[in-house]
Chains A and B, each alone.
Chain A
Amino acid sequence: MAGTRVTNRIRTLRFHRGEMTQQALADAIGVTRQTVNAIEGGKYSPSLEVAFRIARVFEVPIDQVFGFDEDGDATGG
């Protein structure tokens, strides 16, 4: 599978927000649920704007949502 080296903790952060659904997050940041799913699964690196929107939804700094993995493992935390 093609992937991205941008790692993310979206699954964990959704869990800590009362098991927030992908659809709810998608609606909050203005993308489709499939795009949230692709970001979460490491299949797509979002734009900086969408990354900031995600961080804002979870009320954390952006580097607590996204990281960069030299080894190419996309799904962290």
Chain B
Amino acid sequence: MNASFEEKSTWIQLVGTTLVLGGYFVVAGRMLAAGVRELPAFVPLFVVAVVVLVALLVAGHVVAAVTGRTDSGDERDRLIGWRAEARSSWLLGVGVLAAITALVLDVDRVWVAHLLLLALFLSELLRFVLQVVSYRRGF
């Protein structure tokens, strides 16, 4: 793959986050659909998801480091990161505002927690996608 270590890292984070947190939301969605409303019931699933995500990211970066150069990021990597963050952080903001609105409306906290987590997940996903697009297409 003709990619810098930073680009490979972005791909690893994109794939890892999509698989693990996507998987979390599939399972959590089924639990919610089944009527589970106790927030602590989701904690083991969340902990497993975080541990698996960290393990995947570490393994992916180790493979990337072993199979290619590990140049530290340069000005292009930083610019791509800043641009992607500037264009994706609004999603997290929308999620926070939606969560505050849900709290005002006295919505069950299990929904509020998952709304916040979903907003974080989607904003990160958008950031990684924007980074990958910038790496591939240029800007």
Chain A interface (Cβ within 8 Å of chain B)? 1-4, 30-35, 37-38, 41-44, 46-47, 50
Contacts and interface: CB of A to CB of B under 8 A. Distances in A.
Given A32-B73, A43-B137, 13 more contacts: A2-B139, A31-B75, A32-B76, A32-B77, A35-B76, A38-B76, A43-B138, A43-B139, A44-B76, A44-B139, A46-B75, A46-B76, A50-B75
Interface string B79-107: 00000000000000000000000000000
Interface stretch (B2-10, B25-33, B35-43, B119-127): B2-10
A47 B78 CA distance: 12
29 contacts: A2-B137, A2-B138, A4-B138, A4-B139, A31-B75, A32-B6, A32-B69, A32-B71, A32-B73, A32-B76, A33-B71, A34-B2, A34-B3, A34-B4, A34-B7, A34-B76, A35-B4, A35-B74, A35-B77, A37-B2, A41-B138, A42-B138, A43-B137, A43-B138, A43-B139, A44-B76, A46-B75, A47-B75, A50-B75
Contact of A1 (B5, B69, B76, B137): B137
Interface residues on B, range: 10 to 19
A31 B138 contact: no
A32 B137 contact: no
A2 B139 CA distance: 5
The secondary-structure label for the interface of chain A is loop
B137 to A, nearest CB: 5
A46 B74 CA distance: 11
The secondary-structure label for the interface of chain B is loop
Interface string B11-39: 00000000000000000000000000000
A24 to B, nearest CB: 14
Interface string B45-75: 0000000000000000000000001010111
Contacts of A43: 137-139
A50 B138 CA distance: 17
